[in-house]
Each structure stands twice: as C-alpha cells, then as structure tokens.
C-alpha cells in the first residue's frame, strides 16, 4: 500500500520571502508585483519569523484610510476615503450557476486560478459564493466518505453580510476586510451582481496614496499608539520603524515536511489560513497553499476537467458517474 502523501510531496520550494527589516510599503509593492497574497518572513539564516500578508497590509492601511473625521486630518486619508467600490471594483468576473456540478466547479476554479467565484442565477441575481474553503470540504468528504456528486448550491456560502453596493466607500470596505476573513466582496445593484472588490483591489488603490509622506506619518502614529497601549517606551524619542517586522503575523500556523495531507486539509478547514509555511528545525523549506492541496486531491480523485460550454442542472443528489457530464 502506498504511504499517505505528506507535505514534502506537494510543497512549493521556490518562494518569495521577506526580511523583517524591509520597508513595509516596499514589501506591499513586492506582493503586488509578484501577484501573491502573502509571503513568509525569514532572517538571513532562513529561520521562519512570520507571514506578511494582504491581511497585514489591510490592517496597516485601515488606520490611515479611515475618514478624516475619525482621526488626524491627512490629505492621504481624504483622497482614499472619497473613493467608492464602483471606482475600483472588477466587473469582468468568473461566475458559477447554482445547478453546476460541484466537482466540475472545482476544476473550473483551478483552471482559472481563482480562489472563489460568485454564484448567480439566470437573471444574474447574486445567490452566494463558492470558494476554496468549500472546495476543500467537498474534496475531503469525497476522498474519505465517498461523497456522491451534487450541485454547487449545496456547498456555497450564502452570507449576504459579505456583499456591498457600488457606493460603499473605501474606508468601510477596508474595515469589513479587517473584521472578517473574506478576501473579496461581491458588489450588488438591487440584488444583481455588477462587480467584485478584493483585498488586493483596495490595497492597490490605497497604495497609490501611501507613497505620500503623510500616509507614512499616519502609520507611525498608529505604531506610537500601539506602543503606548502596550506600555512600551521608546528610547531617546526613537520613532517607530515602518518595517515588515512591525506588522507581520508572528503567530502564523506552520507544518513540517512530515505532516500528512489530511491534517493539512483539517487545518485549512478549521482556520482562515490560505497557505502554510513548511518548516524543518524552525527554518523555512517550503509552503503549501489551499490551491496546492486542492489540485493534488483533484488529481487523485481523477475528476474529469470541467467543460465551460455546458451548464449542469442537477435536480437531486446522484452518484458521480450518473451526473450528466458531456
């Protein structure tokens, strides 16, 4: 019998990493340039220190993007606060139908390299979101409990608290991203899907403002307040350092090379992490993302590739081999 697959079998070893003393705004630019949502932070000996992610960036910018009336009146704040969802949202989207076969939908997301897609009906009314997290649940159930096929509607997230309108301002959107685990928010007009805005969209819009020195001063102000709240005093009036170390997630979940895929899947299912650094004796040797695990599980289950030309209408639960896949 073949041994269970382990982290070392599927981990990615070629990674973009950050040093803890890197300027935080330059680190944000590096994430944008490489089109990644986070990067491990290591020292010069590759010892793992934490993760700097879009969530960290959102927390940083949230304090400086808030409306001017809530803090120091900075020009940068005013510019950012006056932007709305319609100014930065993406209107061309990958969408799914609620009747689509759930396994075909997983292949669709993997093929298009997106971590989730809105689910809409024939009138383009928003119904929910089918995401990597729900894909994980589907594939794990299928692998270990022989789950028969069903429709996307059985696994999608129907929380309308994650939706916004075209007129929702940037500050409110940033706060929503801080308060929730959501990475993207559907934009609705009278219930119909008209666009989507992601953490990255917000960060890109705010990052254009963050080059202004006032924005950096707002970030320093945030760190001063944080130090004061923690009872930390600065020596000789030393200014807070705007480095990755000050904003990274130092408690990020990690795994070892010997962690099995089921354990990794359970971590992804029970937490909001999208990637797990793989360590050997405290040093970074690789990384596994939800997508890496989904791709491997999808291949192990030998699920046929999705066919974009066909919409699948499933009226009830049925065995996968009986599904009307053309």
pLDDT grade, residue 238 (50/70/90)? low
CATH of the domain at 66: 3.10.580.10
Cβ count within 10 A of residue 237: 5
Is residue 212 within 8 A of residue 206, CB to CB? The reply is no
- Return the CA Rg of the chain: 22
Please indicate, yes or no, if residue 82 is contained in any of the structural domains.
yes
Model pLDDT, residue 252: 93
Residue range 283-287: mean pLDDT, rounded: 97
Per the domain annotation, does 314 fall within a domain?
A: no
Task: Count up the domains in the chain and report the number.
Answer: 1
| Residue 301: how many other CB atoms lie within 10 Å | 13
Q: Within a 13 Å sphere around the CA of 261, how many CA atoms are in the beta-carbon half?
A: 24
DSSP 18: B
Average confidence (pLDDT) over 145-169: 84
Report if residue 264 sits inside a domain.
yes
Which pLDDT value is given to residue 74? 35
| pLDDT at site 102 | 85
pLDDT tens-digit map of 63-118: 554 443 344 333 344 445 578 899 989 998 889 999 988 888 888 888 888 888 99
Range of the domain at 188: 7-303
Band (pLDDT 50/70/90 cuts) for residue 324 is: very low
Residue 213 lies in a domain: yes
Is residue 314 very low, low, confident or very high in pLDDT (cuts 50, 70, 90)? very low
Compare 141 and 195 and report the one with higher pLDDT: 195
The pLDDT tens digits of the residues spanning 32-53 come to 889 898 999 999 999 999 999 9
Examine the pLDDT at 29 and tell me if it is beyond 70: yes
pLDDT at site 28: 87
Q: Is residue 323 included in any domain, yes or no?
A: no
Does 309 map to a domain? no
Q: Which carries the bigger pLDDT value, residue 297 or residue 325?
A: 297
The pLDDT score that the predictor gives to residue 315 is 29
pLDDT value of residue 219? 63
The strands making up 164-165's β-sheet, listed across from edge to edge, are 164-165, 184-189, 192-198
How many other CB atoms are found less than 10 A from the CB of residue 73? 11
Confidence at residue 144, expressed as pLDDT on a 0 to 100 scale: 62
Tell whether the model's pLDDT for residue 172 goes beyond 60: yes
Q: Examine residue 190 and state whether it is found in any structural domain, yes or no.
A: yes
Average pLDDT, the chain: 79
Q: With respect to residue 77, please indicate whether it lies within any of the assigned structural domains.
A: yes
Q: Work out the percent of the chain whose per-residue pLDDT is above 90.
A: 35
């Amino acid at each position: 019998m073949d041994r269970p697959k382990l982290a070392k079998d599927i981990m990615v070893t070629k990674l973009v990493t950050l040093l803890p003393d890197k300027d935080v705004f330059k680190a944000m630019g590096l994430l944008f340039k490489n089109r990644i949502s986070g990067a491990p932070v290591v020292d010069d000996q590759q010892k793992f220190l934490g993760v700097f992610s879009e969530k960290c960036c959102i927390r940083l910018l949230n304090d400086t993007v808030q409306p001017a009336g809530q803090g120091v009146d900075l020009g940068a704040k005013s510019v950012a606060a006056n932007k709305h969802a319609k100014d930065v949202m993406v209107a061309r989207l990958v969408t799914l139908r609620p009747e689509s076969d759930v396994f075909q939908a997983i292949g669709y997301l993997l093929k298009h390299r997106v971590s989730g897609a809105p689910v809409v009906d024939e009138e383009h009314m928003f119904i929910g979101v089918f995401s990597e997290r729900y894909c994980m649940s589907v594939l794990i159930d299928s692998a270990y409990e022989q789950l028969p096929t069903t429709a996307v509607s059985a696994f999608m997230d129907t929380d309308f608290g994650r939706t916004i309108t075209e007129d929702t301002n940037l500050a409110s959107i940033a706060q929503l991203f801080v308060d929730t685990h959501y990475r993207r928010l559907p934009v609705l007009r009278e219930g119909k899907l008209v666009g989507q805005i992601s953490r990255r969209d917000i960060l890109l819009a705010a990052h254009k403002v963050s080059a202004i020195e006032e924005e950096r001063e707002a970030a320093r102000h945030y760190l001063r307040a944080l130090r004061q709240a923690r009872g930390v005093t600065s020596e000789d009036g030393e200014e807070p350092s705007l480095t990755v170390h000050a904003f990274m997630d130092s408690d990020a979940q990690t795994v070892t090379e010997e962690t099995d895929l089921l354990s990794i899947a359970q971590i992804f299912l029970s937490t909001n992490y999208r990637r797990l650094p793989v360590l050997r004796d405290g040093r970074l040797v690789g990384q596994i993302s939800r997508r890496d695990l989904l791709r491997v599980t999808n291949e192990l289950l030998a699920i046929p590739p999705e066919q974009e030309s066909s919409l699948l209408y499933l009226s009830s639960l049925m065995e996968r081999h009986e599904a009307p896949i053309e």
